[in-house]
Structure 1
Amino acid sequence: MSTTGWRLLLRLGLRQDRILAPVALGVLVLMSVASAAATPGLYADQADRVRAAEAINASPAIVALYGPILDVTSVGELAMTKMTVLYAVFVAVLFVVVVRRHTRVEEETGRTELIGGTAVGRHAPLLATLVEAVLLALVLGVLTALGNTVSGLEATGSLAFGALWAGTALVAAGIGAVTAQLSASARTCAAYAAGVVGVLFVLRAAGDTGPGWLSWLSPLGWNTRVRAYGEVRWWLLACYLLLAAALAAAAVVLRTRRDLGSGLVPTRPGPRTGSPRLADAFALAVKVHATTLVLWSVAAGVLGVVFGMIAPGIGDLLDSEVAQSIIDELGGALVAAILSVVAVVLTYFAVTVVSHTGHDEQDGRAELVLATATSRSGWFAASAVLALVGTAWLLVVTGVGLWIGYVAADGPGIGNLVVAALAWVPAAWVVGALAVLSLAVGLRWSVLVWAWPAAFLTLSLLGDVLELPGWLTGLSPYSHVPSLPAEGWSWGSAGGLSAVAAALLVVAWWRFRERDIG
Structure 2
Amino acid sequence: MTALTGTRALARLALRLDRVRLTVWVLGLAVMPMATAANYLTLYPTEADLRAVSGVLTNPSLVALSGPLFSVSIGGLTAWKIGVTEFILVGLMSLLTVVRHTRTEEETGRLELVRATVVGRYAPLTAALLVTALANLAIAVLIALGLMATGLPAAGSVALGVATGLVGMLFAGVAAVAAQLTAGARAASGIASAVLGGTYLLRAVGDTGPTWLSWLSPTGWGLHLRPYAGERWWVALLFVGVTALFVTAGYALADRRDVGAGLVPDRPGPAQASPALRSPFALAWRLHRGLLLGWAIGLALTGAVMGGAATGIGNLTSPNQQLTDILTRMGGRTGLTEAFLAAIFGIVGMVAAAYTVQATLRLRQEETSGRVEALLATRVGRLRWAASHLTIAALGTALLLALSGAAGGLVYGAQVHDIGGQVAQLLGAALVQLPATLVLAGFGTALIGLAPRLSSLAWAALIASVLLVEFGALFGLDQRIVDLTPFAHVPKLPGSAFTVTPVLWLTVIAVALGAAGLAGLRRRDMPVA
Could you state the TM-score of these two structures normalised by the residue count of structure 2?
0.87
1:123 matched residue in structure 2: 122
- For the pair 1:268 / 2:267, whether they are aligned, the reply is yes
String of CA shifts for 1:402-447, please: whole Å, max 9, x gaps: 3223213328988822222222221211121001111111331112
| Alignment partners' CA distance in 1, 2:325 and 2:272 | 63
Deviation at 1:512, TM superposition (A): 0.8
Give 1:344-493 correspondences, 5 Å limit. Answer: 344-410=350-416, 416-493=425-502
CA 239–303 in structure 1, closer or farther in 2 if over 3 Å, else same: closer
Q: 1:6 touches 1:128 (CA, 8 Å); kept in 2?
A: yes
In structure 2, the gaps of 5 or more residues are: 334-338
String of CA shifts for 1:287-319, please: whole Å, max 9, x gaps: 111011111112122211222222232245673
| Alignment partners' CA distance in 2, 1:150 and 1:424 | 38
| Alignment partners' CA distance in 2, 1:63 and 1:480 | 27
Q: State the percentage of identical aligned residues.
A: 38
Q: 2:62 touches 2:313 (CA, 8 Å); kept in 1?
A: no
| Alignment partners' CA distance in 1, 2:392 and 2:189 | 20
2:510 matched residue in structure 1: 501
| Alignment partners' CA distance in 2, 1:183 and 1:197 | 18
Q: 1:47 aligns with which of 30, 36, 51?
A: 51
CA 34–383 in structure 1, closer or farther in 2 if over 3 Å, else same: farther
In structure 1, the gaps of 5 or more residues are: none
Q: 1:396 touches 1:421 (CA, 8 Å); kept in 2?
A: yes
2:107 matched residue in structure 1: 108
1:339 matched residue in structure 2: 345
Deviation at 1:246, TM superposition (A): 3.6
Which residue type is aligned with residue 504 of structure 1?
A: L
Q: 2:302 touches 2:404 (CA, 8 Å); kept in 1?
A: yes
CA 72–52 in structure 1, closer or farther in 2 if over 3 Å, else same: farther
More deviation in 142-151 or 127-136?
142-151
String of CA shifts for 1:76-123, please: whole Å, max 9, x gaps: 334423544465234323311211111112112211101011222222
More deviation in 27-36 or 176-185?
27-36
String of CA shifts for 1:39-96, please: whole Å, max 9, x gaps: 563795343344225x33xx3x665564444x35455334423544465234323311
2:320 matched residue in structure 1: 320
Query: Secondary structure at 2:4's aligned position in 1?
Result: coil
| Alignment partners' CA distance in 2, 1:498 and 1:461 | 23
Give 1:196-211 correspondences, 5 Å limit. Answer: 196-197=195-196, 200=199, 208=207
Q: 1:27 touches 1:458 (CA, 8 Å); kept in 2?
A: no
Q: 1:52 touches 1:316 (CA, 8 Å); kept in 2?
A: no
| Alignment partners' CA distance in 2, 1:208 and 1:323 | 20
String of CA shifts for 1:196-227, please: whole Å, max 9, x gaps: 44565566566556665565454334223312
Query: Secondary structure at 1:234's aligned position in 2?
Result: coil
| Alignment partners' CA distance in 2, 1:326 and 1:137 | 30
String of CA shifts for 1:444-498, please: whole Å, max 9, x gaps: 1112121111123333445434444444333222222222222211121111111
CA 217–311 in structure 1, closer or farther in 2 if over 3 Å, else same: closer
| Alignment partners' CA distance in 1, 2:436 and 2:512 | 14
Which residue type is aligned with residue 407 of structure 1?
A: G
Deviation at 1:172, TM superposition (A): 0.9
- For the pair 1:231 / 2:220, whether they are aligned, the reply is no
| Alignment partners' CA distance in 2, 1:490 and 1:291 | 35
Deviation at 1:125, TM superposition (A): 0.9
Consecutive aligned runs of 4 or more in structure 1 exceeding 6 Å deviation: 411-415
Which residue type is aligned with residue 267 of structure 2?
A: R
| Alignment partners' CA distance in 2, 1:84 and 1:469 | 24
CA 151–477 in structure 1, closer or farther in 2 if over 3 Å, else same: farther
2:22 matched residue in structure 1: 21
| Alignment partners' CA distance in 2, 1:440 and 1:171 | 37
Root-mean-square deviation (CA, aligned residues, Å) is: 2.9
Deviation at 1:395, TM superposition (A): 1.9
2:218 matched residue in structure 1: 219
Which residue type is aligned with residue 322 of structure 2?
A: V
More deviation in 309-318 or 419-428?
309-318
String of CA shifts for 1:494-516, please: whole Å, max 9, x gaps: 11111111111111111111101
Query: Secondary structure at 1:173's aligned position in 2?
Result: helix
More deviation in 467-476 or 108-117?
467-476
CA 253–417 in structure 1, closer or farther in 2 if over 3 Å, else same: closer
Query: Secondary structure at 2:416's aligned position in 1?
Result: coil
Query: Secondary structure at 1:52's aligned position in 2?
Result: helix
Q: 2:311 touches 2:412 (CA, 8 Å); kept in 1?
A: yes
Q: 1:44 touches 1:320 (CA, 8 Å); kept in 2?
A: no
Q: 1:435 touches 1:452 (CA, 8 Å); kept in 2?
A: no
| Alignment partners' CA distance in 1, 2:145 and 2:398 | 39
| Alignment partners' CA distance in 1, 2:314 and 2:147 | 27
More deviation in 414-423 or 157-166?
414-423
Q: 1:36 touches 1:152 (CA, 8 Å); kept in 2?
A: no
Matched residue count: 513
- For the pair 1:137 / 2:136, whether they are aligned, the reply is yes
Could you state the TM-score of these two structures normalised by the residue count of structure 1?
0.89
